[in-house]
Amino acid sequence: MSDNDSQPKRVLGVFAHPDDPEFFCGGTFARWAADGAEITFLMATSGDKGSADPEMTSERLSAIREDEERNAASVLGVKEVIFLRYPDGELQPNLALRRDIVRIIRLKQPDVVVTCDPTVFWSGERSINHPDHRAIGEATLDAVYPTARDRLNFIELERDEGLNPHKTKQLWICGTQTPTRRMDVSDFVETKIAALREHKSQIADMEAMAERQRSYFDPESPADYPRYVESFRVITFDR
């Protein structure tokens, strides 16, 4: 596995919840943005279930978390966040969700789409992957190929909205257990941490979070110069 030498011009990150882009691969988005990429985040939900506060409501939490994600994205250098506002915890990789993703792919015409691995159900012995992460990954893969590419899929998007088919060059799958590419984000770890600090409703101990992020260095890197990487499975489509 090697670092990526190419720099995308347009990137679309498709995720289930606010804070997913930052936790999964905030360093990569920060690096791309610093190199001039135009990045859009598409959030399927607004994270309206992510609170243990007995006084919290889904409506209030949605507003809070949307603001947090906009602020976090801004820290990374991402200028636009789009929310689909599907119910948190109920995401399904159905045709309605696929159509909504295809619409944004055709609108933004990204070189690279980033999303979650739909095949990961658990990690190690202490973590189960959120079902929304799997659902958004499956729906996004189906949207990228073949749906956004072929004009007769959701023909109403072309006919009624003027959105032409789009062929994405690469799909970067994060949170995968079978990576093929590692992105060096050593220069952007603190930017990632700063973005995560915006998610005040979700992170109880900010300093503990920061220390965990700093501890995730590449074990193969020198002790006096730790290297930080984010891993992906990258699919490059034939043109």
Ranges of each domain in the chain: 10-236
Is-above-0.85 flag for pTM?
yes
Other beta carbons within 10 Å of 65:
26
CATH topology of domain 10-236: Rossmann fold (3.40.50)
Burial of 194 (0-12, 13-18, 19+ CB in 10 A): middle
**Structure-token pair, residue 198:** 């915006």
pLDDT in tens for each of the 239 residues of the chain? 344 457 999 999 999 999 999 999 999 999 999 999 999 999 999 999 999 999 999 999 999 999 999 999 999 999 999 999 999 999 999 999 999 999 999 999 999 999 999 999 999 899 999 999 999 999 999 999 999 999 999 999 999 999 999 999 999 999 999 999 999 999 999 999 999 999 999 999 999 999 999 999 999 899 888 999 999 999 999 86
- In this structure, the strands spanning 170-174 and 112-116 are parallel
Question: What's at 77, amino acid-wise?
Answer: G
**For residue 212, what are the CA distances in angstroms to 17, 21, 196, 206?**
21, 17, 12, 10
Segment 217-226 long-range contacts (CB within 8 Å, at least 24 positions apart): 226/186
How many CA atoms within 13 Å lie on the side-chain side of 126?
0
